[in-house]
Structure 1
Amino acid sequence: MTVLVLLGVLALVIGGCVCVVWAERGGPRWVRVVAAVTRGAGGLLHSARKGGGGNRTSGDGGD
């Protein structure tokens, strides 16, 4: 079951990347919408990772 979920997530990621490339080349409206959602999700993941990662590694001084 876990493998099927991971395959589904992988298919969504690949589909989103394809839509981003297609939208850059002037695809239809629905492709531009999917590309915008994909970019937004990527931006959210990037900012969450950037903020969370900095807090974990910054506590190495002060002992």
Structure 2
Amino acid sequence: MTVLILSGVLVLVVGGCVCVVRAARGGPRWVRAVATATLAVAELLRVADPLRSSSSRRSDAQGD
């Protein structure tokens, strides 16, 4: 069951990336809509993650 869910997520991510590339080249309206949604989700994830990623970078630098 977990493999099925992860496979579905992977298909959505790859499809979103393909739509972003295709929209940059001027695709149909639905491709531009999917690309916009993909970029919005990526921005939300980037904004929500700085605390976790900065703390992991700090711990990596301290380990050296």
TM surpasses 0.5: yes
The structure having more radius of gyration, on CA atoms, is: 1
Distance 1:42 1:19 in 2: 14
Distance 2:19 2:51 in 1: 28
State the TM-score, normalized to the length of structure 2. Answer: 0.81
Q: In angstroms, what is the RMSD of aligned CA positions?
A: 1.6
Higher relative helix content: 2
Instruction: Report the equivalent of 1:42.
Output: 42
Gap runs ≥5 in structure 2: 59-64
- Return the letter of the residue paired with 1:15: G
Q: Which runs of 4 or more aligned residues in structure 1 lie more than 3 Å from their structure 2 counterparts after TM superposition?
A: 51-57
Matched position secondary structure for 1:27? coil
Gap runs ≥5 in structure 1: 58-63
Distance 1:45 1:30 in 2: 23
The alignment covers a number of residue pairs equal to 58
